[in-house]
Structure 1
Amino acid sequence: MRTDYAISTIYNYTLLQKRHVGLSVRKLVYFLLVITHSFFSLSAFSQQLTAVVGLQNGWPPYVIDAERPTGLSVQIVSRAFALSGYYLDLRITPWSRALKEVQRGADAVLIAAWYSEEREQSMIFSDPYLFNEISFITLRKNPVDWGTYQDLVGKSVGIIRNYAYDADFMSTDKVKKIPAADLVTNIRKLQTERIDLIIEEYRVALWTMRQHNIPTNIFQKVYPNVSYNGLYVAAGKLNPNAQKYITAFNAGLKQLIDSGELQHLIEQFDEVTN
């Protein structure tokens, strides 16, 4: 972790505060003190860290595309790798390309991947460091009740290409799945009633709506959740360094969990962004 990373992170979170009306100055300053302390604590031995390249698409609030990428996943993965002697060199890359490069053996890792049996054929996964609640979202004026996929017969659901959704959802023929390149496209299609539902991590969906000035109060989350997805670091099996990277991350993650630092990072991030 370098000093300029800490400084640019302060700048990025200042922008975050301006864009997110729910952030108080006091919360922002407190959170910046926490993360800045972490970054500067690491700077003393940063020259001894070995770089590991991370590839990931922007996926706020977990991965925020900025001059120096930030976000909850970035903080956790960077810290865990640092505790094992690695510096995360994160490069924001379109998801489809990042996934293909890692699966083909690029000397890199994905830092926020969902597990699937299909992906396990080509990648090694870490222990999960976070869990996402994946839900259906619809327009408030068009409420949907669901308990089984039979309740959604005839409904169209917007999905994102190459995302690893729940296996039961992907295998059902009860709903029509409409692929798109990204989440904002799906949100706008739902807003204009070209599809009936989208399936997404609700926190991510709300963030995306706010960033694109789409009113959040016209949408609602549909209960129950479709699934709970773990977030993982993943490396391609064709990469000779894959197991080394995953072992190092898992070791650092265990330290974060045992010390309580992981929970602290999550709570501080939630306090600022909620």
Structure 2
Amino acid sequence: MPYLLRTVGLLCWLLVAPASAGEKLRLVADAWPPFTDSTLLNGGLATDLVGTALRRAGYDTEYQQLPWARALNGLGEGRYDVLVNAWYSEDRKKVGLYSTEYLINRVRFIKRSRSSVEYHGLYQLYGRPIAVVRGYAYSPEFDGDEMLEKVPVNSFSMAVRMVLAGRVDLTLEDEYVARFYLSREPQAVRDALEFLPQSLSENSLHILVSLKNPDREAIVAGFNREIAAMKADGSYAEILKRHGL
């Protein structure tokens, strides 16, 4: 009889045990270095932060990289559980549950170190050529201002070269992205450039958990709890450091 009771008790525990136990969450993102990129350490900064927080919350994870549209569509269909790198959008609440922010993306202007350019409003940049990467969206205000002199280029690297050569006064990029690419440039290039102090725009970065996942609220709650704990115990800062940021 005691053996039978123990067996029944074990079966009952298994039935009511948290869904997180042993569950492997399917993480997905597009290639966006240094945040998400399968060629980088632990899949990039954002993937590392997200994966670490979720593992601390009791979940195993696996990461797959896809073009953005396919990643978002797969999340909506329930083929993936967690979109790693989502800016907030009301439309996306139709397919997923947002976490609290875990990173801030700041789009900042970059100038030559000895340049006198200042920025406290876009009107100050009228008449100053600005290199912009074709197809990029920087902010609604900036993108829609027809008084700005925007010079289209094919890449951030090309934009930097044009700033250094004096062909344009400025370029702009997400600060983490810019620092990632500039870290691969010679020291002389890095020394010749600097960020303007004020950001053009700021966007909070979140995970988005598929509404098809029945444990979405528990996943988000666990993630939020562990990200806060990581910031408190220093492990969050350590991850930024090991990614060179």
Instruction: Check whether TM > 0.5.
Output: yes
Provide the secondary structure at the position in 2 that maps to 1:228.
strand
- 1:101 is aligned to 70
Structure 1, residues 107-163: CA drift from partner, whole Å, max 9, x if none? Answer: 334322333567667765432111233211112243311211111113333444665
CA shift, 1:241, in A, is: 2.5
- 1:222 is aligned to 196
CA contact (8 A) 1:133 1:225 kept: yes
Counterpart residue identity of residue 173, structure 1: E
Which stretch of the first structure deviates more once superposed, 146-155 or 209-218? 209-218
- 1:145 is aligned to 118
Structure 1, residues 164-210: CA drift from partner, whole Å, max 9, x if none? Answer: 53333333333244555543343334334444322223343122112
RMSD: 3.5
Counterpart residue identity of residue 53, structure 1: L
Aligned pair 1:241/2:212, yes or no?
A: yes
Counterpart residue identity of residue 138, structure 1: K
- 1:22 is aligned to none
C-alpha separation in 2, matches of 1:163 and 1:244: 35
Q: Counterparts in 2 of 1:152-163, with a 5 A limit?
A: 152-160=125-133
TM-score (structure 1 length as normaliser): 0.64
Structure number with larger C-alpha Rg? 2
Q: Match for 2:175 among 202, 220, 223? A: 202
Counterpart residue identity of residue 195, structure 2: K
**Residues 184 and 124 of structure 1: CA distance in aligned 2, closer, same or farther (over 3 Å):** farther
Counterpart residue identity of residue 188, structure 1: R
Paired residues, number: 219
Which stretch of the first structure deviates more once superposed, 249-258 or 173-182? 173-182
Specify which structure has the higher proportion of helix: 1
**Residues 178 and 65 of structure 1: CA distance in aligned 2, closer, same or farther (over 3 Å):** farther
TM-score (structure 2 length as normaliser): 0.70
CA contact (8 A) 2:28 2:71 kept: no
CA contact (8 A) 1:56 1:110 kept: no
Q: Counterparts in 2 of 1:56-75, with a 5 A limit?
A: 56-60=30-34, 62-63=35-36, 65-66=38-39, 69-75=42-48
Q: Match for 2:184 among 211, 214, 228? A: 211
Q: Give ranges in structure 2 of 5+ residues lacking alignment.
A: 1-19
- 2:26 is aligned to 52
Q: Match for 2:138 among 151, 158, 165? A: 165
**Residues 67 and 218 of structure 1: CA distance in aligned 2, closer, same or farther (over 3 Å):** closer
Counterpart residue identity of residue 59, structure 1: P
CA shift, 1:261, in A, is: 1.7
CA contact (8 A) 1:125 1:234 kept: yes
Identity of aligned residues (%): 21
CA contact (8 A) 1:186 1:198 kept: yes
Counterpart residue identity of residue 134, structure 1: V
